[in-house]
A = this chain, B = another copy of it.
């Protein structure tokens, strides 16, 4: 008999069906056993009645949460008082006629049947293979999947080609101590902190590209916002007319992603208690200096000479954007050139500032980018000015000797975007198997 997915159950009222799934909960009510059974599509109530099948009933008596089972039975309308409007299958139930255990489960270390888990993060991660199955955790990663799909669709709509670039690098391009290095045959290699240089090279080939890459950073401390390995979404566009082309692309991309997730994950967002994001057609855009003035007016604290926004500044600006423009998003441009990566283009009108930008979402920086230097000579000078060695950038610089048009782009982290969209407290909650200095699946011993 062919398996029917639980989500299709209500179409089969009055028919016999064959289902597979996990026991979510079991409740014994007098002479009946009620099972909630979950498969990848939905949750179903099954009733095991010894008068229908004593054999199935005897089997059901031994069932515990997380057992994998298959069952046959008749799809019946629920009695009126028993209808559950919360569930897509809430008007029907399965009257079980046979039941087979496919795989047993040990006693659970905590209750998985409730609406939330209420566990500390370390416990949540220690039992990751189990906690990921919880109704309040699984949906996080359906939303994450949707954000990724939304990104790809929007990138394809922009005419971008998807490219696959390496994560092993011969030099630590952006410098800094926060890089993982490892023996590579008789040499040393590095894990990339960003696919930046490769995506710029690829502008010379496809004009417009997008990259999904793992990026690595040996964070020197444990914070709620950083992982040592995370997933970065990158986009780069050539033949731009100016900064506004890039801002349009970044803001449009972000809107598309969020709207795609909100459209395709209604049920998940409801479970997670997340209200839809408020995003107007026009996202407010400010230069850093304009933003700092607004922040100063709101908070009374003068940061108008600082080189960047502090996190409390971002928060204040986010509140301003929401109040004044009804927008969860706000774009800040023209950060000081010396605060940005060497490849960011200085503003020709005032080279102290760069044609760079950050996108803030709910008061937190979420995406970052810039128009890039596209002239070879200027780029070599910018590298040298930072005390870096142009020889370490051979292949990258080579691309600039063969006609790279004006270009720019942006990037953002998938986990951090998921975290902000879902109002999670810690970025680890938005990573299936988060890595940090204290954990790689298991907690690392603090000793040796």
A406 and B3 alpha carbons, distance in the complex (Å): 14
Tell me if A198 counts as interface (CB < 8 A to partner B): yes
For A129, give its contact among B168, B399, B435 (CB under 8 Å).
Answer: B399
Q: Which residues of B contact A22 (CB under 8 A)?
A: 403
Of the stretches A50-58, A87-95, A98-106, A284-292, the one at the interface is A98-106
Q: Nearest chain B CB to A62's CB is how many angstroms away?
A: 13
The answer to whether residues A163 and B432 also contact, given A108-B402, A182-B180, A399-B129 and a CB cut-off of 8 A, is yes
A167–B105 touching, CB < 8 Å = no
For A404, give its contact among B103, B405, B432 (CB under 8 Å).
Answer: B103
Tell me if A170 counts as interface (CB < 8 A to partner B): yes
B130–A433 touching, CB < 8 Å = no
Tell me if A340 counts as interface (CB < 8 A to partner B): no
Over the window 160-181 of chain A, the binary record of Cβ atoms lying under 8 Å from chain B Cβ atoms (1 yes, 0 no) is: 0111111111100000000011
B440–A208 touching, CB < 8 Å = no
Tell me if A124 counts as interface (CB < 8 A to partner B): no
A247 and B148 alpha carbons, distance in the complex (Å): 28
Tell me if A142 counts as interface (CB < 8 A to partner B): yes
Q: Which residues of B contact A77 (CB under 8 A)?
A: none
Tell me if A339 counts as interface (CB < 8 A to partner B): no
B405–A442 touching, CB < 8 Å = no
Tell me if A82 counts as interface (CB < 8 A to partner B): no
Q: Which residues of B contact A405 (CB under 8 A)?
A: 20, 68, 102-103
Tell me if A310 counts as interface (CB < 8 A to partner B): no
The answer to whether residues A239 and B184 also contact, given A161-B145, A164-B231 and a CB cut-off of 8 A, is no
A435–B141 touching, CB < 8 Å = no
A375–B189 touching, CB < 8 Å = no
Q: Which residue of chain B has its CB nearest to the CB of A159? A: B40
Q: Which residues of B contact A138 (CB under 8 A)?
A: 205-206
A67–B403 touching, CB < 8 Å = yes
Interface contacts beyond A40-B161, A105-B401, A141-B205: sample of 12 additional A-B pairs, CB < 8 Å, sorted by A: A5-B159, A68-B403, A102-B374, A103-B404, A104-B403, A130-B398, A133-B402, A141-B163, A148-B162, A164-B431, A180-B183, A186-B444
A–B complex contacts, Cβ < 8 Å, 14 sampled = A41-B159, A68-B405, A103-B403, A103-B405, A132-B202, A145-B161, A166-B229, A166-B435, A168-B228, A168-B440, A181-B182, A186-B448, A395-B433, A395-B442
